[in-house]
Amino acid sequence: MPYNNPPSNPDSPRKQSGGLASLVQAEKLVQIAFLLPCAMLVGWGAGWWVDHHFHVEWASITGLVIGLIAGMVSVVRMALGAGSSPSSSKSKGTK
């Protein structure tokens, strides 16, 4: 009789090889690097739109500052989460 492998437990966390794990970590860090400039660009764009449609001169600067603040909050949250393991981040938010 041929040997059959038992089915793997779907609840157990999958272990990634060293190369794949480092690529996933690098992708997270690259995502952090793109987040802040994109948030600032979106904030400036929204401020520019308000500037031109409502004829105010301060909206683009305000949008830029709001984009900077939103980007920094997201960068800090992602940077703190980048060092944690995937299994611990799943268990934090679920009840």
The average confidence (pLDDT) of the chain is 81
Decide if 7 is inside a domain: no
| pLDDT score of 41 more than 90 | yes
Q: How confident is the model at residue 61 (pLDDT cuts 50, 70, 90)?
A: very high
Contact 70, 41 (CB under 8 A): no
What pTM does this model have?
Answer: 0.64
C-beta pairs of 90-95 under 8 Å, 24+ apart in sequence:
none
| pLDDT score of 71 more than 80 | yes
Decide if 2 is inside a domain: no
What is d(CA 24, CA 30) in angstroms, rounded to the nearest whole number? 10
Question: If we measure between CA atoms, which residue out of 15, 7, 21, 20 comes closest to residue 83?
Answer: 21
Count of domains observed in the chain: 1
User: What does the block give as tokens for 65?
Assistant: 């500052």
Decide if 9 is inside a domain: no
Is residue 6 left, alpha or beta, with left meaning phi > 0 and alpha meaning psi from -120 to 50? Answer: beta
Decide if 62 is inside a domain: yes
Decide if 19 is inside a domain: no
Decide if 52 is inside a domain: yes
Decide if 69 is inside a domain: yes
Structural domain that includes position 67: 27-82
